[in-house]
Structure 1
């Protein structure tokens, strides 16, 4: 049985990962700011899978000290953490230079600096154990610089992908594995208020199923769902700028 820590687990992709991992026989360490939602999720999962063990803790990932305290607390609760999924993130943003530095800074601090703190806390545990599986949730937007409201968000997601890839290079051949996920358009709290839904948007359940499958296979990196995002990644990286602008 595997013990999995998931940040940002109160809703969206994190909550659905918790449901699907529990259904596959895993114990869970779940953290997020909204403990009421965590407790509701815990009750829901235990009603379906009473043999699972689920621990929940409040965590604002932008509180550096709290990140280390919560991760260490979960490690003490279970005795070991087999997999840690850095999932917490923020989707707000504004075109650069339009007076909303506050929004862009909040996204940068949550998506990159807080992810760095989570990575430090996770790797502290895995280095002490001598094993583990580190999972970073990036985004397809990391494939190339994005315009307007996506500019800062995409930059943070590229940053965390490189952070994880650096760890993978360092740890190659050792029993600490690293996976980077690049989700495409998956229904979540981050986009549920968008009026014009993208035709490539898939349900939370379907999108997360692809994420969970890639994680359990310990893939080094995965565009999820694979279709159309695996081939799309090549297009995004290499299409001439006039074509790329029309695509997005």
Structure 2
């Protein structure tokens, strides 16, 4: 069992939800995010409900790449080892390209891909030194095809993260490392990033979605759609349907 779980972007949404699910299982938690007041509140709630669970929280802006390496190492020193890192921090700002919202699109690109790269690098340095660990990247069903409007850059970053994760896995196969890596592709799970989106098909609530995420992560798959139904089928179709049909999901 992976005892110590590090989750980025843990102050809200899927990160917070996964932390709560892991606390129920008695796992120790290394939680980081920009909003430390929310992390402290989460830590307090977990301490009251699950007093045997060790929770450490640290401030981290994942776009401060040096801080990513420093915070991950501090967690490792505090816990003795980190057994799983969930690269979860992200954002969904943006608009159609050419409409004057480059500032928002580039923020999403930097946070969802470049900062994720830093997190993967920092996690793998620790895992290689420990000779064990499980790296989990939270991609998206939107990674499978190009998407319109506000989803264009978001989908592109998640596609990049998916390819990055597979490249890491290729390296691990080549070196015969015991480190595991999984790419998780959530479908529509209600969270802070999409709370204003209405009438979305197949949307599940945060708790249901996070239970499914943790269940999938525990299997340590190469890749998983979450929830499995209907997103495994939708993913299969998305890769094959004409783009004008696929774009209706965006």
Q: Deviations over 1:53-88 (max 9, x none)?
A: 000000000001111110010000001000000000
Superposed CA RMSD: 1.1
- 2:230: which partner in 1? 228
Indicate how the Cα distance of structure 1 residues 28 and 246 shifts in structure 2: closer, same or farther if over 3 A, else same.
closer
TM-score (norm 1): 0.97
2:147/2:247 contact within 8 Å kept: no
Q: CA deviation at 1:247?
A: 5.4
Give the secondary-structure state (helix, strand or coil) at the position aligned to 2:97: coil
Paired with 1:16 and 1:28, the residues of 2 have a C-alpha distance of 12
2:142/2:158 contact within 8 Å kept: yes
Q: Deviations over 1:128-158 (max 9, x none)?
A: 0111000000000001111111110000000
Give the secondary-structure state (helix, strand or coil) at the position aligned to 1:120: helix
Paired with 1:243 and 1:187, the residues of 2 have a C-alpha distance of 23
Paired with 1:26 and 1:231, the residues of 2 have a C-alpha distance of 32
- 2:182: which partner in 1? 179
Work out the number of aligned pairs and report it.
247
For 1:80-159, list aligned pairs within 5 A.
Answer: 80-159=81-160
Q: CA deviation at 1:197?
A: 3.0
2:5/2:83 contact within 8 Å kept: yes
Paired with 1:207 and 1:235, the residues of 2 have a C-alpha distance of 21
Give the secondary-structure state (helix, strand or coil) at the position aligned to 1:89: coil
Decide which of 188, 191, 197 is 2:191's aligned counterpart. Answer: 188
Give the secondary-structure state (helix, strand or coil) at the position aligned to 1:182: strand
- 1:13: which partner in 2? 14
- 1:161: which partner in 2? 162
5+ residue gaps, structure 2, are none
Q: CA deviation at 1:193?
A: 2.1
Paired with 2:51 and 2:227, the residues of 1 have a C-alpha distance of 30
Q: Deviations over 1:160-210 (max 9, x none)?
A: 11111111111125310001000010010001123x231311011111111
Indicate how the Cα distance of structure 1 residues 164 and 79 shifts in structure 2: closer, same or farther if over 3 A, else same.
same
- 2:4: which partner in 1? 3
- 1:216: which partner in 2? 218
Paired with 1:26 and 1:116, the residues of 2 have a C-alpha distance of 25
Give the secondary-structure state (helix, strand or coil) at the position aligned to 2:182: strand
Q: CA deviation at 1:246?
A: 4.6
Give the secondary-structure state (helix, strand or coil) at the position aligned to 1:44: helix
